Amino acid sequence: MSRTHATPVNAVDARLPASGRLADRAAFEAFRAAATRRWDDLWSVERMVVSVGVDSSSLAKGAVEVLAACRRELTGSDAVVREVSGNGALWMEPWVEIKRPGQPPIVYANIDPSEVPALLTGSLEERALGVRDGDAFGGIPALDDHPFFRHQERIVLRNVGVIEPESIEDAIARGAYSAYFQVLFEMSAEEAIAEVTASGLRGRGGAGFPAGIKWESGRKAKARPKFVICNSHEGEPNVYKDRRIHEGDPHRILEGILIACVVCGAERGYNYIGGEYPLAIQRFRKAVADAERLGLIGQDVLGSGKSVAFRVRTGGGAYICGEGSALMFSIMGVRGQPRTKPPRSVEEGIWKRPTIANNTETLANIPDIITRGGAWFAGIGTEGSKGTKLMTVQGPVKTMGLVEVPMGISLRTLVEDVWGGMRDGSTFKGIQTGGISAGPLRDDHLDIPVDFDSMTELGGMLGSGGFVVFDQTVCVVDFARYMTAFNRYESCSKCVPCRLGNPALVEVIDRIRLGRGSLADLALLERTSKHIIELSLCGLGQVAPMPLLGMMKMYAEEFRAHIEEGVCPTGTCPISVAPSALVAAD
Amino acid sequence: MSLSPSTEIDLAVVRDLLSHIRPNDDQEAQELILAALQEINEHFGWVSLAAARLVAEHLGTTENRVYGLLTFYADFRTEPRGKHFMLVCHGMSCYALGSQRLVQHLQDGYGIGDGDTTADGELTIQVVNGCLGVCDRAPFVKLDHDFHGDLTPDRLDAVLGQAFSRGAPGER
Ligand SMILES: Cc1cc2nc3c(=O)[nH]c(=O)nc-3n(C[C@H](O)[C@H](O)[C@H](O)COP(=O)(O)O)c2cc1C
Ligand code: FES
């Protein structure tokens, strides 16, 4: 599928200043003022503004065709047609937002390209879902009153679905690079790090390490040059958050990385993006090119005397390359196989130089922490987990999507309210947490708060915030096999416990699935798991058996049914299909 | 670029792709090996030994190292693709909604697993362990340039049947 490019917002663009290199502070401030005027005009002038959410999920459902139909229908009129990104609500796609003169922007959901003419002439009003960013209007409710949006507090996602991601002017009008400007001119590195520390921000890549502490050691590291890496690999099978920030607001990520570079004294920033996300890569590269053009990257940024270089690198479909040291090896052009630590990467990272690595979402939080202050951020969330968290869901729920909610929201609110509960015909059986690194929770656990610490006691984990709801059709033995087989396939093969242990687990699970298991196999699974967890070199092996152990703990009776009664209660496993068919696929 | 299988890829095109990759120093050259291979893989659907050699030469490294990368990273192929290429999402939404049945069906009905090509050269599949990002339409595949969601084995047969009767996609 070929993509059409955003055409500039025609008439409004006349207001833009020449967009060459901005030589100094004043030039940036003038540019920002002009971009802001242009943005305000866009929404205040008496003209129709049509925005279509195009991102990696909506384009699979015809969003590009919807956009093209809008352009076609409105050719010759003074209407502005914009290509924004999706807003996280997969269930709404493709959606179109229309702002008519004298009206607020109204969002219409699930629009087919063939419906566009009717939509634009106003004869599809029954499909209006809500008013974006405002109160109810003419019987149409505020979008923020919809359960999917009601619980959200959008900081990282503030611009996602609102700005044109390929327009640096849109981003700057909505505040991009203001925090960067602050650390270049108005704030010392110590002050900036103090804000990050005070914010309590913990890493969003899974481990939850305090960002302030990492930055402090990065700043103190003596060797030169130093590097900052944004970890946008996101190779887990259960999550789709980081790519959406790239698709919707790439400048926010870039700004976070540039701030880290300036504050930690790093000469060069990197963003390592998973190769599976062509649109994320394309939009991020565009953002980098525009920032270079304006002189926000390069020598003597805005005349501040500070210089930052930037490189984009893309992954090759190996999950392990999300692990910090493996990612650095991948950047250096070798196989992504983790190494033992110490030395930590802030001492010895890329090219044996100090390297500060953070997850995309972590860095995307930085601009607001700088402009609004660490104390503001620390006022959101729970005691040990500050701020908001991006969370995604998969499986048979009604309103699937990515949301940004305050830390500490209950899992039940997420599942039953935000994500709309189960689809018709599906009964909730469990929710897998922490992706392929932790265990599931059952219905009787759903009232716990979602943050870094609350779920671990039950064997769950926040991880990167990707939850998987599963229903009565999913066999937990088969599900455990799926996750163990994932880890078997993705093991980098460097250390023996992980390389040999995971295949051994799969073999034993298969025996159970075939109806040839014994109760002794359950003990064998636990023992082998223990060895893998205790002896593996890196974070992949050290948690690889957790999903299996979690499934065995939460659904012990279902494992026993396979062994003692020789039946798979859901009818999934080969026991109940054909005794000979061992599923070969992983 | 045609998707039809051939035993070698056009090295003149590879040279042209490589001519745009101009590292400033040895470290940058090493950082660009993966990028060079990705471009070739993207363009041709696979990377041949001869192309890998050109990359090694161009970036001042050994073909062993280049081959080590090709075999480590799942996105690379070292053999040509069939006429059609399908990414089968096996992420967790797809799993929870039945992608295992599709994978099994491709094995039973077409004789292919991850990375394989059908005997008649019509179809190559790659089973993707990550998530393709269209989780609400799981299970989900991307066949050539088209997306298909909410699949069952029967619906997959219909989708494949249509693609086969249309022939190879002209442009990649
Ligand atoms: C097997 C494995 C895969 C990982 N994948 C990712 C990933 O895709 N993205 C990410 O940000 N962190 C990933 N991590 C965590 C990183 O090693 C690291 O902790 C993180 O990027 C640090 O950033 P943060 O402190 O901002 O979270 C992974 C870790 C392991 C062990
Ligand atoms: S898991 Fe298949 S599209 Fe997300």
In terms of residue numbers, what domain contains A73?
46-145
Q: How far is A30 from chain B (nearest CA, A)?
A: 35
Q: Does the ipTM exceed 0.85?
A: yes
User: Would A510 be classed as within a structural domain?
Assistant: yes
Tokens of A542: 């050290």
Interface of A with B in 437-466 (CB under 8 A): 466
Answer for the pair A331, A231: CB distance below 8 angstroms, yes or no: no
- CA dist., res. A77 & res. A58, Å (int): 26
Asked if B158 and B89 sit in the same domain, the reply is: yes
| Residue A25 counted as domain residue | no
pLDDT in tens, A535-552: 999 999 999 999 999 999
Give the CATH number, domain containing residue A335: 3.40.50.11540
B135 CB near ligand 2 (under 6 Å):
yes
Q: What are phi and psi of A320, to 5 degrees?
A: -60, -25
- Cβ neighbours of B66 in A, within 8 Å: none
Q: Which of B72, B102, B126 is the last residue of a domain?
A: B72
pLDDT at B8: 84
Q: Does residue A245 lie in a domain region?
A: yes
Answer yes or no: are the C-beta atoms of A391 and A417 closer than 8 Å. Answer: no
Whether A511 and A554 share a structural domain: yes
Distance CA(A477)–CA(A469), nearest Å, equals 16
Do residues A424 and A460 lie in contact, with contact meaning Cβ atoms separated by under 8 Å? no
| Measured distance CA(B17)–CA(B28) in Å, rounded | 17
Centre of ligand 2 from the C-alpha of residue A551, in Å: 21
Rounded Cα–Cα distance for residues A472 and A261 (Å): 49
Cβ–Cβ < 8 Å for A559, A515? no
| Helix H or strand E segment including A227 | strand A227-232
The b-or-e profile of A128-163 (16+ CB within 10 A means b, else e) is bbbbbeeeeeeebebbbebebbebbbbbbbbbbbbb
d(CA A353, CA A396): 46
Contacts of B96 in chain A (CB under 8 A): 394-396, 468-471, 474, 479
pLDDT at B168: 82
Residue A394 to residue B93, Cβ atoms within 8 A: yes
B90 with B58, same domain: the answer is no
- Asked if the Cβ–Cβ distance from B31 to A432 is below 8 Å, we say no
Whether residues A467 and A480 fall in one domain: no
A208: in domain: yes
Ligand 2 centroid–CA A308 distance in Å is: 36
Alpha carbon nearest to ligand 1 atom 18, residue: A324
Asked if A205 and A464 touch (Cβ cutoff 8 Å), the reply is yes
In a shared domain, residues B56 and B108: no
Q: Can you list the positions of beta strands (E) in A506-584?
A: none
d(CA A70, CA A519): 62
Nearest CA to ligand 1 atom 10: A205
Rg (CA), chain A: 25
* CB–CB contact A240 B133 (8 Å): yes
Q: Are residues A203 and A315 in the same domain?
A: yes
Residue A353: CB atoms within 10 A of its CB come to 18
Looking at the structure of chain B, the number of domains it has is 2
Option in B31, B37, B38 nearest A331 (CB) = B31
Q: In terms of domains, do A467 and A562 share one?
A: no
Report CB contact under 8 Å: B95, A1. no
Asked if residue B116 and residue B90 are part of one domain, the reply reads: yes
Q: Is B138 in the pocket of ligand 2 (CB under 6 A)?
A: yes
Residue A161 in any domain: the answer is no
Asked if B159 has any chain A CB less than 8 Å from its own CB, the reply is no
Say whether both A461 and A480 belong to one domain: no
Q: Is residue A523 within 8 Å of A552, Cβ to Cβ?
A: no
Chain A contact present for B46, CB below 8 A: no
Which of B135, B143, B152, B159 to probe the A interface (max A CBs under 10 A)? B135
Residue B115 has a CB neighbour count (10 Å cut-off) of 13
Query: What's the pLDDT score for residue A586?
Result: 45
Neighboring chain A residues of B146 at a CB cutoff of 8 Å: 1
A313 touches chain B (CB under 8 A): yes
B105 interfaces chain A, CB cutoff of 8 Å: no
Of the three residues A378, A405, A425, the one that is the final residue of a domain is A378
Which of B25, B41, B72 finishes a domain? Answer: B72
Residue B2, pLDDT score: 39
Q: Is the CB of B102 under 6 A from ligand 2?
A: no
Residue whose C-alpha is closest to residue A231's, from A258, A201, A204: A204
Q: Is the residue at A544 inside a domain?
A: yes
**What range does the domain containing B119 cover?**
84-163
Residues A77 and A222 in one domain: no
Query: Which atom number of ligand 1 is nearest to the Cα of residue A274?
Result: 8
CA distance A20 to A307: 18
Q: What's the pLDDT at A577?
A: 65
B96–A470 CB contact, under 8 Å? yes
Asked if B55 is an interface residue toward chain A (Cβ–Cβ < 8 A), one would say: no
Residue B146: CATH number of its domain: 3.40.30.10
**By alpha-carbon position, which residue is closest to atom 1 of ligand 2?**
B91
- Considering the domain boundaries, does residue B3 fall inside one? no
Spatial distance between the Cα atoms of A360 and A358, rounded to a whole number of angstroms: 7
Residues A401 and A430 in one domain: yes
Cβ–Cβ of A331/B138 closer than 8 Å? no
A110 versus B8: the higher-pLDDT residue is A110
CA distance B34 to A322: 16
Is B45 among the domain residues?
yes
Q: What is the position in ligand 1's atom list of the atom closest to the CA of A361?
A: 26
Asked whether residue A451 falls in the same domain as residue A553, the answer is no
CA of A465 to the centre of ligand 1 (A): 12
* Contact call for residues A366 and A196 (beta carbons, < 8 A): yes
Contact yes or no for B134 and A57 at CB 8 A: yes
**What's the CA gap between B144 and B85, in Å, rounded?**
5
Listed as ranges, residues in chain A with pLDDT below 50 are 1-15, 579-586
Which chain B residue has its CA at the smallest distance from A466's CA? B92
Whole-angstrom distance, CA of residue A337 vs CA of residue A335: 6
In a domain, B111, yes or no: yes
Residues B142 and B95 in one domain: yes
Answer whether B121's CB lies under 8 Å from B160's CB: no
List Cβ neighbours of A143 (8 Å cut-off, separation of 6 or more): A107, A129, A130, A131, A132, A133, A149
Nearest Cα of chain B lies from the Cα of A76 at a distance, in angstroms, of 31
Residue at which a domain ends, from A112, A145, A178: A145
| Eight-state DSSP code of residue A427 | -
Answer yes or no: do A585 and B114 touch at CB < 8 A: yes
Residue ranges lining ligand 1, Cβ < 6 Å: A 203-207, 209, 231, 233-235, 320, 322-324, 357-359, 362, 538-540
Measured by CA distance, the residue closest to atom 24 of ligand 1 is: A203
Cα maximum dimension of chain B: 54
* Boundary residue ending a domain (A471, A496, A514): A471
Q: The dihedral of CA B105, B108, B114, B116: what is its sign?
A: negative
> Is B76 in Cβ contact with A334 (below 8 Å)?
no
CATH of the domain at A112: 3.40.30.10
- With respect to residue B61, please indicate whether it lies within any of the assigned structural domains: yes
Residues A86, A58 contacting (CB under 8 angstroms): yes
For the domain that residue B60 is a member of, what is the CATH number? 1.10.10
* Mean pLDDT (whole number) for B105-114: 97
pTM: 0.95
Q: What is the rounded distance in angstroms from the CA atom of residue A471 to the CA atom of residue A425?
A: 9
- The tens digit of pLDDT for each residue in A178-237 reads 999 999 999 999 999 999 999 999 999 988 999 999 999 999 999 999 999 999 999 999
Q: Which of B20, B44, B72 is the last residue of a domain?
A: B72
Residue B148 CA: which ligand is closest?
A: 2
The CATH number of whichever domain residue A529 belongs to comes to 1.20.1440.230
Q: Which ligand is the nearest neighbour of the Cα of B137?
A: 2
Within-domain flag for A284: yes
Same domain, B107 and B156: yes
Contacts of A112 (CB under 8 A, 6+ apart): A62, A66, A94
**Are the C-beta atoms of A475 and A551 separated by less than 8 Å?**
no
Q: From A351, which residue of chain B is nearest by alpha-carbon distance?
A: B27
Q: What is the Cα–Cα distance from A406 to A329, expressed in whole angstroms?
A: 35
Structure confidence at residue A16 (pLDDT): 54
Protein residue closest via CA to atom 28 of ligand 1: A323
Strands B84-89, B123-128: pairing is parallel
Whether residues A310 and A353 share a domain: the answer is: yes
Q: In this predicted model, what pLDDT tens digit does every residue of B117-159 receive, in sequence order?
A: 999 999 999 999 999 999 999 999 999 999 999 999 999 999 9
> Of the candidates A25, A148, A133, A129, which has an alpha carbon nearest to the alpha carbon of residue A90?
A148
**Is the residue at A402 inside a domain?**
yes
B91-108 confidence digits (pLDDT tens): 999 999 999 999 999 999
Residues B34, B73 contacting (CB under 8 angstroms): yes
**A232 and A180 in a common domain:** yes
Vertex A27, ends A21 and A30: CA angle to 5°? 125
CA A53 to ligand 1 center in whole angstroms: 29
d(CA A490, CA B58): 30
Question: Bridge partners of B121?
Answer: none
Q: Are residues B88 and B155 in the same domain?
A: yes
| B67 and B93, same domain (yes or no) | no
**DSSP for A548-566?**
HHHHHHHTHHHHHIIIII-
pLDDT at A1: 34
Beta bridge partners of B128: B89
Count of structural domains, chain A: 4
- Residue A469 makes CB contacts below 8 A (sequence gap 6+) with A393, A394, A395, A396, A397, A415, A419, A422, A428, A430, A431, B96
Q: In 10 A of CB A402, how many CB atoms?
A: 28
